[in-house]
Chains A and B, each alone.
Chain A
Amino acid sequence: MTATTVKAKPAMTKQRFTDIFMRVIFTLCACVSILAVVFICIYIFAGGFPAIREIGIFDFLFGTKWKPSSGYYGIFPMIVGSIVVTGIAIIVGVPIGILCSVFMAYYCPAWLYRFIKPAVNLLAGIPSIVYGYFGLMAMVPAMKDLLGGSGKSMLTAGILLGIMILPTIIGVSETSLRAVPKSYYEGSLALGATHERSVFFASLPAAKSGILAGVILGVGRAIGETMAVAMIAGNQARLPEKLTDGIRTLTSNIVIEMGYAAEGIHRDSLIATAAVLFVFILIINLCFSVLKRRKD
């Protein structure tokens, strides 16, 4: 008996070797994404560290003057710019996005859905450079006529970003609305509530955490968007006073100056800008995954 059990343990055949070999390959491939994150962290943080040390973390983060030619490296205006532009994008994109997802989940007849769903997907697929060019050629002149100034402002950039994050918010909200049990809606209808009241006061609150996840995803996309914002935000590196002022975001600071920044503190300070942006993104990611875990 013992002899047979010993024999049952497979010998090192060719087949068994392949199995072990492939297992190792699969495991190694799974480690690639871990490795990538580690390398990105090392390169971005290590690359930005010398600049932060030289400038001083306080002067770098809260300095209000960015003038590389005369040795001022304060990114506070850019931090404010990123936050304000993202804020406007949320104000524009979130209500419209959520209402749109309600439309798609509870109002849209099947024949119309076959057109609207691909339309939203297309909105998600359009390259940001095309959005930016559209903003530059269509929105900037319109804002100029409407509000004066150059038309390139944080308001223009915020509105365009609000449009760009729409598909993200619509997609995630719609999925979570559809995951709400139909009985919530039906129960509310049976109690005599109208269609709208049932949707907005029974189904929508139940999908709250999913919708919030979509909003956070949208925030991440808005704060990281580069090209479109760089084209229409005006890019003045100073603290804005009103909504129609031009502004520079963290992302556009990198893309504008990286092309000509000389090696040394100027380039390092741009990498440090990316490090700050990266920290923002990590915080947003953390919020997102905490929310997702809680939902599960």
Chain B
Amino acid sequence: MTNENVAKAVITEPAPEKYINKVTMKQKLLRYKRSPLSLILMILVMLSALFAVGILLFLIGFILVKGIPALSLEQFEWKYTADNVSMTPAIINTVLMVLLTLVLAVPIGIFSAIYLVEYAKRGSRLVKLVRITTETLSGIPSIVYGLFGFLMFVIGFGWGYSLISGVITLAIMVLPTVIRTTEEALLAVPDSYREGSFGLGASKTRTVFKVILPSAIPGIMSGVVLSIGRIVGESAALIFTAGTYAAIPSADNFLFSSTRTLAVHMYALYNEGLYTQQAYATAVILLVLTACINLLSSFIERKIAKNHS
């Protein structure tokens, strides 16, 4: 047999290429038979993944099955009364709370990140201090935030249970999230952008606002969406700062009216113990909101990935 013939034989060989580097089911079983430990580990891994997904599906299913029949038009009436237990004021308050908190936290967070990335010298003492404190802030439990807001704003400043007390407390709470995500986004902006801008004679301020920030927007947005999720789901930090009053803040005393967001509304319903059905219905709305926020954040993440590639 000449070399040519061998080559021909290999080419004409019917063994399909897709089996190269593949393990058949039979081989797999044989391996597991030889190594029972591997089999046990594999089963444990599969079971855990099943458990995690299963518990999520069960939780969502449970809330939806119990909650969707409990939804009624009554609960969406404009004004809250003890009869209709309307969640409309709570929904509007949630939107207000989210907007005002973001108005406060996002500029401060972005500016902090700009300082950390664009201005500060590496390893300066201030940078270290800012890093330690943001790490500390992100670890503080929400009930401690709530108590702090209660002591400082509600009692100390005499603002009482009010929208503004809740807003400032939550703004401090989401600040580390905004700073961290913006920092990552700024670090991902290539240095050539900065050099190009400086090279064209732009000032530092102009470079930051016209060149660096626009290209970091998707990253910043992901931080904003994460913050929205946290604000919507927050209850412990709000009960003792914004209170539990179920009405839209009045126009003349807007910032200093007590408000309840959707999550606090649900806590209040649970606490009063009379409104099981309505609490389920509120849970459904909260779940839907959470799912929407998550969808939005994965959409943004995909956009970032596309930008980078």
Contacts and interface: CB of A to CB of B under 8 A. Distances in A.
A237 B143 CA distance: 18
Chain B interface SS verdict (over half): helix
A271 B176 contact: no
Question: Which range holds the interface residue count of chain A?
Answer: 35 or more
A30 B112 contact: yes
Interface string B229-244: 1001111100110000
B144 A133 contact: no
Interface residues of B, number: 89
Interface stretch (A65-73, A149-157, A195-203): A195-203
Given A40-B140, A123-B56, A274 B266 contact: no
Contact of A36 (B37, B38, B133): B133
Contacts of B236: 128, 226-227, 251, 255
Interface string A1-38: 00000000000000110110011011101111110110
Contacts of B58: 138
Contacts of B103: none
Interface stretch (B4-12, B145-153, B190-198): B145-153
Contacts of B172: 36, 40
Interface stretch (B71-79, B81-89, B290-298): B290-298
B210 interface: no
Interface in A195-254: 195-197, 199-200, 220, 223-227, 231, 251, 254
A196 B286 contact: no
Contact of A120 (B52, B62, B115, B130): B52
B49 A224 contact: no
Nearest to A280: B141
B147 to A, nearest CB: 5
Contact of B53 (A119, A127, A289): A119
B217 interface: no
B270 A128 contact: no
Contacts of B116: 30
Contact of B294 (A36, A40, A125, A225): A125
B108 A29 contact: yes
B279 A133 contact: yes
A159 to B, nearest CB: 10
Contacts of A284: 139
A137 interface: yes
Interface string A264-286: 00000011001001100110110
Given A125-B290, A127-B233, A166-B52, A271 B35 contact: no
Contacts of A47: 147, 151
Given A27-B119, A30-B111, A40-B144, A128 B56 contact: no
A223 B141 contact: yes
Nearest to B130: A30
B62 A200 contact: no
B130 A224 contact: no
A203 B218 CA distance: 33
A207 to B, nearest CB: 15
A100 interface: yes
Nearest to A285: B139
B99 interface: no
B42 interface: yes
B294 A118 contact: yes
A258 interface: yes
B70 to A, nearest CB: 12
A238 to B, nearest CB: 21
User: Among A119, A227, A277, which residue has the most Cβ atoms of chain B within 10 A?
Assistant: A227
B267 to A, nearest CB: 5
Given A37-B137, A100-B48, A251-B143, A19 B204 contact: yes
Given A23-B204, A121-B297, A122-B291, 10 more contacts: A19-B204, A26-B114, A26-B115, A33-B176, A196-B39, A197-B37, A199-B41, A220-B141, A227-B236, A270-B147
23 contacts: A16-B203, A26-B114, A29-B107, A30-B111, A33-B134, A99-B44, A103-B46, A116-B53, A119-B52, A125-B293, A128-B233, A133-B270, A133-B280, A134-B283, A137-B280, A195-B42, A197-B38, A251-B141, A251-B143, A281-B144, A282-B136, A285-B139, A289-B132
Interface of B: 31-32, 35, 37-39, 41-42, 44-49, 51-53, 55-56, 58-59, 62-63, 66, 107-109, 111-112, 114-116, 118-120, 126, 129-130, 132-137, 139-145, 147-148, 150-152, 156, 172, 175-176, 179, 203-205, 208, 229, 232-236, 239-240, 263, 266-267, 270, 279-280, 283, 286-287, 290-291, 293-295, 297-298
